[in-house]
Amino acid sequence: MIQIIGFISATLTTMSFVPQAVKTWKTRSTDDLSPLMFGMFFLGVLGWLIYGIINNDLPIILANVVTLCLAGIIMYFIITGKSMHRIIHVAIYVNDLEMMKDFYTENFSAKAVSKYENESKKFSSYFLSFSSGPKLELMHNPDVKKDNSIYSGHFAISVGSKKKVDILSEKLKAKNVTVRSEPRITGDGCYESTILDPEFNIVEITV
C-alpha cells in the first residue's frame, strides 16, 4: 500500500510539469519563468534522485528521473532563450498619449508602467505589457504629428479564443470603435477581427 501511494503521488507531481514543458517547447518562451526558482528546483530534484538511488526507493527514482528530464527541458530554454533573437516591444507615435494608454489598458487589459518623460527632448512614453509576448510602447513628441491616415501596417493582440474575439469585438463596437472587419476565418486560417484604435492604428484581435 505504501508503494502504491508513493507511485500515485510521484506520478501526479511529475505529470504536473508536462503542460509547462510542452508549452515551453512549443513557444520557446520563458519570459514569465524565474531562472533562480527553476535552477534551485532542478538541483533539488537531482538531490532527490541521488537520495532515491542510495535508498533503493523505486517511486522516488522513477519520479525524479522523469521530473529531471522535464525540468531540464525548461532550464535549457531558460538558458538558451537569453541569446535568442526575438521582438521585445513595438513602438508607435501617438498624438494623445493618455487617451491611447487608457484605450489599451481598459479594452485589452494592458498594464502601464510609470510614464517616462524627457523634457529636453520633449519626449514622453508609456510601456504597456500584456499577459505575454512583446510590449507596446506609446510615444509622444509634440513635434511629431500623425496625419490620422490609415497605414498598411498593423499589430495583432491575442485574446485566447474565438468566443473572446467575438465578445471584445462587440464590446468595442458598442463603444463606437471602428471595426474594419468582423470576426472571421482569414485566408491563412486565423480567426480574427480588425479594428482601428482612437488614432487609426490597425489592430487585429485574434485567437
Whether 197 and 153 share a structural domain: yes
Rounded CA-CA distance 3/61 in Å is 12
Whether 15 and 76 share a structural domain: yes
Residue finishing a domain among 146, 168, 196: 146
Whether 138 and 190 share a structural domain: no
Whether 76 and 105 share a structural domain: no
CATH number, domain containing residue 123? 3.10.180.10
Kindly give the confidence (pLDDT) of every residue in the chain, 207 residues in length, as a single tens digit, with 9 standing for 90 and above: 777 776 777 777 777 778 877 777 776 666 667 778 878 888 888 898 899 899 988 878 888 888 888 888 888 877 776 555 566 788 888 999 999 999 999 999 999 989 999 999 899 999 999 887 888 999 999 988 766 555 556 888 988 889 999 999 999 999 999 999 999 998 778 899 999 999 888 899 998
Whether 111 and 175 share a structural domain: no
Whether 189 and 202 share a structural domain: yes
CATH number, domain containing residue 47? 1.20.1280.290
Whether 137 and 154 share a structural domain: no
Candidates 108, 91, 199; CA nearest to 150 is: 199
- Number of domains the chain is built from: 3
Residue-range definition of the domain harbouring residue 7? 2-81
Residue finishing a domain among 95, 117, 146: 146
Candidates 165, 154, 160; CA nearest to 201 is: 154
Rounded CA-CA distance 78/67 in Å is 16
Indicate the pTM of the whole model.
0.59
Whether 155 and 139 share a structural domain: no
